[in-house]
Amino acid sequence: MFRTGLENLLYDDLSLLRGRRVGLITHPAAILPDCTAALDALLAAGVQVTTLFGLEHGLTGAVADGVAVGDERDRRTGLSVFSLYGAVRAPTAAMLAGLDVLVYDVQDVGARFYTFISTLYHVLAAAGRCGVPVIVLDRPNPINGVAIEGPLVEPGLESFVGIAPIPIRHGLTVGELARYFNAAFDLGAALQVIRMCGWRREMWFEETGRPWVPTSPAMPHLSTATVYPGTCLVEGTNLSEGRGTALPFEVVGAPWLDGYALARALNDLDLAGVRFRPTAFVPSAGKHAGELCHGVQIHVCDRAVFRPVTAALHLIVAACRQAPDRFAFLASSWEGQPPHFDLLVGDSRVRTRLAAGEDVASLVAGWAEICERWQAARTAYLLY
C-alpha cells in the first residue's frame, strides 16, 4: 500500500509536531488521497501551524513562472505567508523566529531546474544557521527514481535553476535530495525525513494511484513532467516551449519554422520512445505570445527508453538547421549572465559545441560516465 510522508506523519508520527509551533512550506499539489490539502490535514489533526511559506508560483500555485511573489496573509486561515520567491529566496531569521520546527511538504517533478528543490536547499541552509529543525515529508519522484540523464552543474554556473552539481534528471525524491544537500554541502540542519511506504524506484506517478495536481501553471499533466527535463531547455532559445497553450513543454515551435519539415527531420533520427507530429499553436504567454507558431508536438511512445534531454537537444539542433538566420540562443537570463541555456543545462560547453555543429550523439555520449558517478555518489542518500 502506497502512502506519502504526510500520510505516515498523520498516522504514525504526529507526536513529532504536538506542542510545537510549525512553519509549513507547501503548495496545492501536496494532498492526501482524498485531495485534502496538507495545511488542512495538519490543522484538522490539531497541529499548531503558525506560519506558511510559499515557493515559486505562490501558495496558490497560480502565479506565472519567474514572477516574484510578495508576502501576504492567507485569505482562508489568516496565517502569515512568507514568500521564498520574491524579495528573498531563503527564510530569514525574522521569519523563523518563534518557530519550533519547519515542515516541507512539496511535490517535485524530478528535474534539477524545477525551483522547488532550490528552495529546499535554501530552507535547509537557513534552518541550519538558525537552529530550527526541518521535517521533510517525502513524496514520489513522478518520473521514477531510476533514470538519470544530463550533465552536472559546472562551477560558476550555480543558480536558482541549478543549485547543485547533480544531473538534470537526478532520480531522487525530495527527501533523498534533502539528505544529499544537508550532508554534501554541510548545511547543518537538524533534518528528519518522513519516508513513504510502498514506493519503488521504478514507479511512475500514476502507479501510486494518486491524482495528479498541477505543480505549477505550466505543469498540468504527468505527460508534461515526462518531457520537461528536456524541453525546459527550449526556454534558453527564441523558440516557444508552449507556455500559454494547453500543452506547455509538449509543443515547441516558432512563427518562422516549418512544422512538417521539422517533424520529418526528427522522426528520421528514429529516437528511442518518441515521435514528433507537426502542429501549429498560438501561445497566450511567453515568447511569440499571440503569434501563430509552427512546430512539433512530442509524443512519448515508450517512456522507459525515452531520453527527454537528448531528444530536446536534437529538436533544438533541427530547428537551428532549418532556420539558422532566425534561431538563436538567448544572450542572458532573468538571473543575468551567463546565457539562460547554460544555466539550465549546467554546462557552457553544450551550447558552444552545438553551435559549432557537433553531433548530439557524440555530445551526450560523455554523460554516461557522469551518470555512473552520480549513481554511485547518491547511494548514501537513498531511502528506497
User: What average pLDDT does this structure show over 183-202?
Assistant: 98
Whether 336 has a pLDDT exceeding 80, the answer reads no
Whether 122 has a pLDDT exceeding 90, the answer reads yes
Q: Which 3 state secondary structure label does DSSP give 170?
A: coil
As a whole number of angstroms, the distance between CA 217 and CA 242 comes to: 12
Whether 274 has a pLDDT exceeding 80, the answer reads yes
Beta strands in the chain (DSSP E): 21-26, 48-54, 72-73, 80-83, 101-105, 134-137, 191-194, 251-254, 274-281, 293-300
Query: What is the per-residue pLDDT across 309-329, written as a single tens digit (0 to 9) for each?
Result: 999 999 999 999 999 999 999
Whether 334 has a pLDDT exceeding 80, the answer reads no
Whether 182 has a pLDDT exceeding 90, the answer reads yes
Q: Residue 332's pLDDT is what?
A: 83
Q: Residue 110's pLDDT is what?
A: 98
Q: Residue 337's pLDDT is what?
A: 76
Q: How confident is the model at residue 160 (pLDDT cuts 50, 70, 90)?
A: very high
User: What average pLDDT does this structure show over 270-299?
Assistant: 97
As a whole number of angstroms, the distance between CA 167 and CA 112 comes to: 7
User: What average pLDDT does this structure show over 7-20?
Assistant: 97
User: What average pLDDT does this structure show over 51-62?
Assistant: 96
Query: What is the per-residue pLDDT across 61-113, written as a single tens digit (0 to 9) for each?
Result: 999 999 999 999 999 999 999 999 999 999 999 999 999 999 999 999 999 99
Burial of residue 206 (number of CB atoms within 10 Å: 0-12, 13-18, 19+): exposed
Q: Which region among 302-311, 314-323, 334-343 has the lowest average model confidence (pLDDT)?
A: 334-343
Write out the three cell numbers for 13. 508520527
Cβ proximity of 299 and 222 under 8 Å = no
Q: Residue 113's pLDDT is what?
A: 96
Whether 193 has a pLDDT exceeding 80, the answer reads yes
Tracing cell 552543474 back to the chain, one arrives at 153
As a whole number of angstroms, the distance between CA 7 and CA 198 comes to: 12
**How far is CA 302 from each of CA 184, 204, 274, 312, 381, rounded to the nearest angstrom?**
35, 13, 7, 16, 29
Ordered by where they begin, the domains of the chain are 5-214+376-381 (3.40.50.12170), 222-346 (3.90.1150.140)
User: What average pLDDT does this structure show over 260-288?
Assistant: 97
Mean of all residue pLDDT scores within the chain = 97
Question: CA-CA-CA-CA torsion for 214, 219, 222, 224, nearest 10 degrees?
Answer: 170
Q: Residue 333's pLDDT is what?
A: 76
Alpha-carbon Rg for the chain in angstroms: 21
Whether 175 has a pLDDT exceeding 80, the answer reads yes
**How far is CA 323 from each of CA 59, 251, 261, rounded to the nearest angstrom?**
41, 18, 11
The 8-class DSSP code of residue 253 comes to E
